[in-house]
Structure 1
Amino acid sequence: MAFYSSSSGVSTTMATEKDLANDIVINNPAEDSVSDIAFSPQQDFLFSVSSWDNKVRIWDVQGGVAQGRAQYDHQAPALCTRWSNDGAKVVSGGCDNSIQLFDVQTGQSSQLGTHAAPVRSLSFLQFGQANAEVLVTGSWDKTLKYWDTRQPQPISTLMMPERVYTLDSKQRLLVVGTAERHIAIIDLGNPTSIFKTTQSPLKWQTRVVACYNEGDGYAIGSIEGRCAIRYVDDEQQRKSGFSFKCHRQTGSNRAPGTQGQSLVYSVNSITFHPIYGTFVTAGGDGSFHFWDKNQRHRLRGFPSLQASIPVCNFNRQGTVLAYALSYDWGQGYMGNRPDYPNVIRLHPTTDDEIKGKKKR
């Protein structure tokens, strides 16, 4: 199933470089590739960045100028970062197998716990009768661990079908994407068991999963430039589930010297708008696109910025999209040239770009 270019059937959805002219650019946000970006749930312009130089940095943007607020270290590349709901703590995981906890007030970092292999993905959840905040971490050791950040031992450990590559949560839904294209669905009403395991409908390796704001389904992005729209309920999936191609260069938008070929890029990042429920994909082709899954069409596509985008994320109101132009390791260490761009850009969003349109 393909997305339509616009609700009228006429392609009016492509932006130009001029539409990116107001982006705030942070040059050299890290000394190596950016792996993750997460905004504070309490402030619009405060965010953390994990990177392959073993560091997590906290940036603050005031009056259009970015300032480094703090940084702390892992012993190996840092792969993921998130904020607690009160904005008081930043957590991160990395290739040193550790989960680090940073207190924003005191500026102190400490090790919360470890896995037996790199920690690839994490998220703060709220569940249980007291709606307590719990951290979930996913690792290449094929486990999920739940943590109370005041305790050094995990509350619970849950075996996964394979190495954890990505996870996301909304409402009572937690979705985990692993190696070998397994998708594990967990109902946070019963977080210590897997509710359902399914296979990604996409043929190649899963890069990212992202849950809908309603908590009734999730999107999957893969290395073959495809995105799948999925629902937990089987009946709803049959009615509303579909897949579509994206982050491919064909025809007039091909790179020079590649005429006659269709170039396929990885979908590296998917994130849902916190207010409108539309979503953005970003990929190895260096572009990002806003989509409306309910109307099945692209709201706005942006031109390639000639460097891969490994991650993007909205701030708490969805008024800013942060995205990194940085090496995504899609071609292994051979592709990581010293002159490869490494910047973070903050794109002020407009309703025209991200608000779903009613079908005419």
Structure 2
Amino acid sequence: MHFECLQDSPKDYISSLLVLEKAPHVVATAWDGTLSLYDYEANELLLRMKHENGLLSSVWSACGKKYVGSVQGDILEVDLESERFELVSEEATLGICAMSSNSSNLVAGSWDGSLQMLDMRTGSIWHNEKLGNGKILALDSNDETVVVSYAGGKVVTYDQRNMNTPVIRDSGLKFQTRDIKLMPQGNGYVQSSLDGRVAVEYLNDESLRFAFRCHRMNLPDTQFVFPVNALAFSPTNGHLYTGGSDGKVFAWNLNTRKKSEELPKLDESVVRLAISSKVLCVATADDSFKTLATIQDAETQSGQIYFTKL
């Protein structure tokens, strides 16, 4: 298995990455406000739209609707034919950093702690709340459950039939969460952190929970620990893929609790993963600015998008 690089990658840090199941298409948003649509089979850029503000998140819903979240806190619907962004909600005061969708709802989380639920059939926000005083870090959803990680080491889960009775848990990770994903069966979730660790949690049986270390480099006198930035479950075999700042992507069998695959190392940090039954896509970037000791005007290099057919 080897990676191919998509041509004409975005010129700024890639903030979200999607791969479509029904077409050979990859979608990427970036901090420069661009949304890029690629055909990975032809290795061709099909469309690039640009918004005036940076874009942080995106979803391509099963019902065919497409949304992005901006750094200004706006939820925008994407019209590919007219190449326009239509404002749906501006209720958040800070960036829409995470999005997910299921058959009828869009879930959006913001740096200001806002959690919004949008009925995609009517275009109306039917649930909007603030999660404590901490910003939302990552979220995921399916038709029954929403899971949200937010600052302060907390994870909250909702049954979408009754959003007024959330269940709040400690994250199980000592350091900040980087990504969170529901298991394909919906019976639990996984979350990754800055300290090279992944926690596996079960919704109805906490005795099954466990965590494992990954994306580490062992040397004779020390150990380098890399953030685990991205998670994705294979829709075919259910294996969990992890991407880290060491430039590596691993696959894990959570049933046996063992690594099932190690992909070729990439030159820069893996910041996003997306997978379908046919292809695995990886976005990389120089994310060293995240670990600078002081605030600086750090110039981020353009990202790259790689893919490998499964």
| Residue ranges of structure 1 left out of the alignment (5+ in a row) | 1-18, 127-132, 252-258, 350-360
Cross-structure match for 2:14: 34
Aligned counterpart for 1:326 among listed residues 281, 285, 307: 285
Q: Secondary structure at the match of 2:43?
A: strand
1:249 partnered with 2:217: yes
Partner of 1:224: 195
Once residues 302 and 218 of structure 2 are traced to their aligned partners in structure 1, the CA distance between those partners, rounded to angstroms, is 24
Q: How does 1:1-360 map to 2 (within 5 A)?
A: 19-20=1-2, 23-43=3-23, 45-62=24-41, 65-86=42-63, 88-114=64-90, 115-126=92-103, 133-149=104-120, 153-161=124-132, 162-190=134-162, 192-233=163-204, 236-238=205-207, 240-251=208-219, 260-315=221-276, 317=277, 319-328=278-287, 329-331=289-291, 340=301, 342-349=303-310
**Does the 8 Å contact 1:80/1:121 carry over to 2?**
yes
Change (3 A) 1:151 1:141: farther
1: CA distance, partners of 2:45 / 2:267: 26
CA distance in structure 2 between the aligned counterparts of 1:335 and 1:278, rounded to whole angstroms:
39
User: Contact conserved, 1:37 with 1:48, CA < 8 A, in 2?
Assistant: yes
Go from structure 1 to structure 2 and tell me whether the alpha carbon gap of 1:223 and 1:208 turns closer, same or farther (over 3 Å shift).
same
2:269 aligned partner, one-letter code: S
CA contact (8 A) 1:325 1:341 kept: no
- One-letter identity of the residue aligned with 2:237: Y
Q: Which residue of 2 aligns with 1:130?
A: none
| 1:148 shift after superposition | 2.6
Calculate the TM-score normalised by the size of structure 2: 0.91
> Partner letter of residue 248 of structure 1?
R
Shift of 1:124: 1.1
Deviation at 1:195, TM superposition (A): 2.6
Q: Point out the structure with the larger helix share.
A: 1
Contact 2:197 2:228 in 1 (8 A): yes
Offset from partner CA, 1:175-211 (integer Å, 9 cap, x none): 1011111101111221x22431011111000111110
Greater Rg by CA: 1
- 1:266–1:194: structure 2 CA closer, same or farther, 3 Å change rule? farther
**Residue 278 of structure 1 contacts residue 293 of structure 1 at CA under 8 Å; is this kept in 2?**
yes
Within 1, Cα distance between the matches of 2:308 and 2:281?
6
Secondary structure (helix, strand or coil) at the match of 2:77 reads strand
The alpha-carbon deviation at position 344 of structure 1 amounts to 0.5
Q: Structure 1 residues 118, 78: CA separation in 2 closer, same or farther (over 3 Å shift)?
A: same
Q: Which residue of structure 2 aligns with residue 13 of structure 1?
A: none
Alpha-carbon distance between aligned partners in 2 of 1:194 and 1:265, rounded to the nearest angstrom: 36
Q: What's the CA shift string for 1:195-228, capped at 9, x where partnerless?
A: 3101111100011111001111000100000000
Asked whether the equivalents of residues 7 and 45 of structure 2 are also in contact (C-alpha less than 8 Å), the reply is no
How many Å apart are 1:310 and its aligned residue?
Answer: 0.5
Supply the distance in 2 between the matched residues of 1:186 and 1:293 (Cα, whole angstroms).
24
**Residue type at the aligned position of 1:321:** L
Contact 1:27 1:342 in 2 (8 A): no
Render the CA deviation track for 1:221-266: whole Å, top value 9, x for unaligned.
Answer: 0000000010011xx221x211011111113xxxxxxx63211111
SS in 1 for 2:269: coil
Q: Residue type matched to 2:62 in 1?
A: N
CA distance in 1, matches of 2:165, 2:113: 13
Q: How far apart are 1:73 and its partner, in Å?
A: 2.7
Q: SS in structure 2 opposite 1:76?
A: coil
CA shift for structure 1 position 335: 9.2
**Which segments of 5 or more consecutive residues in structure 2 lack a partner in the other structure?**
none
SS in 2 for 1:310: strand
> C-alpha distance in 2, partners of 1:167/1:194?
17
Residue 37 of structure 1 and its aligned partner are, at CA, apart by 0.5
Distance 1:341 1:137, change over 3 A: closer
Cα distance change on mapping 1:177 and 1:283 into 2, 3 Å: same
Identity %: 23
Tell whether the 8 Å contact from 2:139 to 2:179 is kept in structure 1 after alignment: yes
1:357 corresponds in structure 2 to none
Cα pair 2:148 2:157 within 8 Å, conserved: yes
